[in-house]
Chains A and B, each alone.
Chain A
């Protein structure tokens, strides 16, 4: 059964992180850069932080975010993390409005990192919207091992393909898809992914990592499954604490011969094998 315990976990750190930059990419997307050397030094690809928008009681809780970039000084020492944010409500609106010099509580790293890809297979990332976030650190980890990932990147329009160039400059093979056809393939990200799957050799199947809206992740998991490949997804659930204390972030996992079982996404995830999830029971 899937691990849903705190066993072997190292303690996260909490800090009053200073905002170094808050880059607005559009009217709702932004990249928030935080001075958080202790969090940065511990973070592995796929892990997340809990940040508190605002100092008051409304909103009350922290919000989970995948660590986007790990920032380093000239000597390569980690100095901070960035998060890729999108306004969806009051808390994320407060984060969008933050100015450099302000501080906010940042707890992390939390959660189970991505499984490192084996060296003898292609590495594919499939991202939709802010689902791009966990792939920056994973791309760097792959490239440092001599693995050149391919990023299948879907967005509504060309202007929403944030950081596509950043990934390309890093050495990632970027294959875009836009719903309006203004850049890359016309349609969903599953279109270029499906073509690649059709031409990939079955014996050296790719390691596929997916992050984006739940219906997109499910579609990708099913598409890959039809070609005989499992995927690893990074889920974004509503979380109360990120520590395993509240049992609010649960996701259903399949159990042989029994109904699905709820496990805490903050401990057992946020990364999961696509085949482990009971997708029909996953809230959007």
Chain B
């Protein structure tokens, strides 16, 4: 499976998934669980990058719409949810993607930083790229995707004020 001849120490196991046309990967050690086809319950007035909430192990998990973050149309059907843990900040959240492809091992030496010409939104999300047999994969870092961090960055909009009850 590995295109390079590096030793396993130099290899990263990446969970690869698709959102729109792009191929993305997250280090498997940072993924807690992958939930199959599931439709999050939408939350009215939430920031648009929030897909909704799903029940997860007795708790309520907030999920992000990765498609929205990439500037793609949201899909109205069941998708895969990656459960991500940010241990440092004790924040657990889900990432809604189109489909999870599998696990790819990637050589550390094939990692490259973000291109200098990348736009601000993408810089806030991406953590460099790497080559895989199925094409260029964008690496993601759960740290950067934390909902609270996205809210602080203000790049992706904030909670909506909603209509007043009587306005029609």
- A and B are partners in one complex rather than unrelated chains: no
